[in-house]
Amino acid sequence: MEKWVTKKNILIFLGAMTLVSIFTIDELSFCRSVGLKRCPIPLDDSQEAFFLPFVVVFLLSLLTYKMKDEVFQAWSRFALWFVPIIMIITFLLNKSEQGGMGISGAVSGAFNFLIICIFYIIFILVSLIKIIRAYKRTKNKV
């Protein structure tokens, strides 16, 4: 597995998944902006949520791409275990929604959104801290 986890392979995979997410996530409205009435791969919200982490990880991967390999490896070790956690929690929260009417449905949806946002904020902040610390460590070695 270590040979597969290279900067180039990860970037290619994440780029492909980001393109898929652009075409599948209805909220991005890319399909409508190019004149399609609906996206070619229609997904419900729980399936769309599967692709969302790839966009965030792709952007962080781009940030580390030109840095030394040690920086990328330090960040990717964290991302490889935290991203599946975000995906599972997002999937479970989306599946748990009953689509209730009125205030209870709105409160449940807002709470689930808050939980998901907290996990993404934690992921982004810890990722940036890991990247900065690894970058400073490799900068001091030279």
Q: DSSP letter for 27, please.
A: G
Band (118; pLDDT cuts 50, 70, 90): very high
Q: Give, for 140, the enclosing helix (H) or strand (E).
A: helix 102-141
Q: Tokens 């209870």 map to which residue?
A: 104
Higher pLDDT, residue 30 or 3: 3
Q: Can you read off the two tokens belonging to residue 107? A: 């409160």
Output the CA–CA distances (angstroms, integers) from residue 84 to 43, 64, 88, 120, in the order listed.
Answer: 20, 20, 6, 12
| Confidence tier at 5 by pLDDT (50, 70, 90) | low
What pLDDT shows up at residue 102?
46
Specify whether the CB–CB gap between 75 and 123 falls below 8 A: no
Average pLDDT for 63-91: 88
* Every domain of the chain and the residues it spans: 7-141
Output the six-digit token pair for 24: 């599948």
Q: Per-residue pLDDT tens for 9-27?
A: 888 888 888 887 776 665 5
The pLDDT value recorded for residue 136 is: 92
pTM value is 0.75
pLDDT averaged over every residue in the chain: 78
Spatial separation of the C-alpha atoms in residues 94 and 126, rounded to whole Å = 24
Name the helix (H) or strand (E) containing 53: helix 45-65
